[in-house]
Structure 1
């Protein structure tokens, strides 16, 4: 086996979180940073390699908040500071507003006419049967996801971060441990090269379960998305739209101005791919597919028929499943491993990972540097916590709606699209 020179810090995963971590390390003056990923950048299976993601401001954290509320308010505050003020992040944030069910101090929407008035005439033509919600006109919108990812990657490289990607050179097959199995020395890639490092950060999203026993703390869960092609004239008409999100239907965001495609997602508690390993343990194992179940397409067309029926019969130009990793409580898992020295885990996006992207690098590097910058209440919510998953219900919808409110088994999918 060939052995490479030791890096100071090795990051496994060049997705949204991996790039955010690499950038923050480099900005703070760390050197010898290497990032490994099994796919060329940007990865076709990375959840962040997407047209857009929803983002929204939160309240100022209060000592009277519950721990969960305090955590999300603080994380969102850190992230939105970057999305609105950091010169690298800010160009990708679009403050178009956000329409969904929300607290009653916002603009109420109770009829199809109410919904129609939120967008230019002719955009929303549906009857919105049974829809009720609210319109948040400021402090919310969307982020150009793949553009932000590429900016993170480019700036990290400019600051000296080394990216090693590809099915051989970048794909990690295993973590390299000491003989006593009490510390991580680095990782071995598919070309049999050992990449050693003083510190290793595992940030490979849903695929992280292939490299480490998370004691059932992670459940890789997949959602479904598609693109609706528009004409240049339609794309111009649909610019600067507020995000429209139905908690049991799905959402769409204004179209991509270059390719004239509008992303649409159906809302559901997620798909899982359960397998039983040789030890008899159950896991959800991610896989890549640039198609979606036909049932997901049916749900998307229902969303369109109720909101923009002019598009309900239009052929999709693109579709894929998109994986994330759910923790039991949907809080992030960012912590030093309790047994394996020199290993930090940064996983468990739980459907909120991209919005928090700018905060992730800060949180991980604060953890790595041990300088005490992380508030104790925030640290507590992100800790390594296998006690929460002892009797994990793999079918827990975790508060999500749509598709009868049930987690869906990929093994039950009878037909896929041919997009």
Structure 2
């Protein structure tokens, strides 16, 4: 093994979410025998972004041929190989196709440039309400689609059942011998264990020292609570809700293509277990800005909520009124703020820490980290073993020189909600959703 590591080396993973479980699985598959994962919650954690009924999966790279594009293309290829061939993940991938759309000239231009132009023959253009309705069974799309323009790709993309894939990775890693310590206080990481300028493991809330030869920090949006990222990460939240469906509707909506308007929101087929349809309103993201002692720059701090701001609910219902008005007034049975960790250029941050030689940082999913769960752990282990390809190491490097100024209001090429970043603190006056968990009964 590289860097003095061997299969008996003690590897400690902080965080049992998407990237933590993927890394644990890949370490075990490479023969590491002494791997421990710490998480404050049982897996799947209620605050993990990966604990979700579905996520979009794409199968194309839509940028021109620079180094970043090459990294993106390799990542997508590796992820899709996993979704299609790895028995741990393959059962949860649904190749249903997808529809990408916009409602303003700027957004439409962006999606054509980024998603359609490089594979135009795979897409069919949609310009009328009837065009959109024709992509799904009769009775699903009933709206007028005002001002919409879209593109339909019938295969080569789709969605995955996120929670089941995450649990599958966890179960397989555990079967292969990974030790998971979860729950509070025994799994809750209180601090890094610092000795002689290096990270030698972590200390949990029960006071136990978990020593390791390598520590991998994979705590998503919560990672900055343990380590100074020098303004490289911005915890950012998106909003989602579920509405109840009948058994008949659940059957009708099965195997639908994903529909994603990059200014309005998206939906996929209902959850077959609970008969609920997940909705997301589209926007650049919410931050929760908190002043930090000794720092001139505020920091966004995740706040776990199983609610969404009232304005997010309005956006979701407006989205429904444009595409499926017959569902627009149904009660929410579930709602959630889903936190991720942005980097300024949305490239991952997977690298050894420059000041702590035994600490591997695995963060910066930037809202597109889950689809890589089949393979991202392999890249993280490559980093740990000093085997990353040079273009990956450059893209994912520790790069505080790019974030000296405040970039918290940057929308990062995202649309919706006035095309501006949103602030959790500004939602207090408008209020939050009132989730009604009563099952739907329809005659």
Q: Give 1:268 shift.
A: 0.2
Aligned counterpart, 2:111? none
Q: Distance in 2 between matches of 1:147 and 1:170?
A: 22
Aligned length: 408
Q: 1:103 aligns with which of 96, 103, 116?
A: 116
Q: Give 1:369 shift.
A: 1.4
- Contact 2:62-2:116 within 8 A present in 1 as well: no
With over 3 angstroms needed to count, the CA separation of the structure-2 counterparts of 1:377 and 1:60, relative to structure 1, is farther
Q: Does 1:250 align with 2:265?
A: yes
With over 3 angstroms needed to count, the CA separation of the structure-2 counterparts of 1:60 and 1:215, relative to structure 1, is closer
Q: Distance in 1 between matches of 2:132 and 2:70?
A: 32
For structure 2, which runs of at least 5 residues remain unmatched after alignment?
1-7, 102-114, 436-443
Q: Give 1:221 shift.
A: 0.3
- Contact 1:12-1:203 within 8 A present in 2 as well: yes
Q: Distance in 2 between matches of 1:42 and 1:393?
A: 32
Q: Distance in 1 between matches of 2:292 and 2:405?
A: 17
Q: Distance in 2 between matches of 1:290 and 1:86?
A: 32
For structure 1, which runs of at least 5 residues remain unmatched after alignment?
1-5
Range that drifts further, 318-327 or 67-76: 67-76
Q: 2:241 aligns with which of 211, 218, 226?
A: 226
Q: Does 1:287 align with 2:303?
A: yes
Where do 4+ consecutive residues of structure 1 move more than 4 Å? none
Secondary structure, in 3 states, of the residue corresponding to 2:88?
Answer: coil
Equivalent runs, 1:38-77 vs 2, <5 Å? 38-59=40-61, 65-77=65-77
- Contact 2:289-2:299 within 8 A present in 1 as well: yes
Q: Does 1:308 align with 2:321?
A: no
Q: Give 1:7 shift.
A: 6.8
- Contact 1:272-1:284 within 8 A present in 2 as well: yes
Q: Distance in 1 between matches of 2:9 and 2:231?
A: 30
- Contact 2:263-2:282 within 8 A present in 1 as well: yes
Q: Distance in 1 between matches of 2:9 and 2:422?
A: 42
Equivalent runs, 1:335-414 vs 2, <5 Å? 335-370=351-386, 372=387, 374-413=388-427, 414=429
Q: Distance in 2 between matches of 1:111 and 1:153?
A: 44
Aligned counterpart, 1:333? 349
Secondary structure, in 3 states, of the residue corresponding to 2:116?
Answer: coil
Q: Does 1:263 align with 2:278?
A: yes
C-alpha RMSD over aligned residues: 1.3
Q: Distance in 2 between matches of 1:332 and 1:24?
A: 18
Aligned counterpart, 2:107? none
Q: Distance in 1 between matches of 2:367 and 2:354?
A: 25
- Contact 1:71-1:378 within 8 A present in 2 as well: yes
Q: Give 1:341 shift.
A: 1.3
Secondary structure, in 3 states, of the residue corresponding to 2:125?
Answer: strand
Q: Distance in 2 between matches of 1:189 and 1:70?
A: 39
Calculate the TM-score normalised by the size of structure 1: 0.95
Calculate the TM-score normalised by the size of structure 2: 0.90
Q: Give 1:60 shift.
A: 10
Q: 1:152-193 CA deviation, whole Å, 9 max, x = no partner?
A: 000000000000011200110100111x32x11110000001
Q: Does 1:32 align with 2:34?
A: yes
Q: Does 1:93 align with 2:107?
A: no
Q: 1:9-49 CA deviation, whole Å, 9 max, x = no partner?
A: 00000001000000000001001100000112111010000
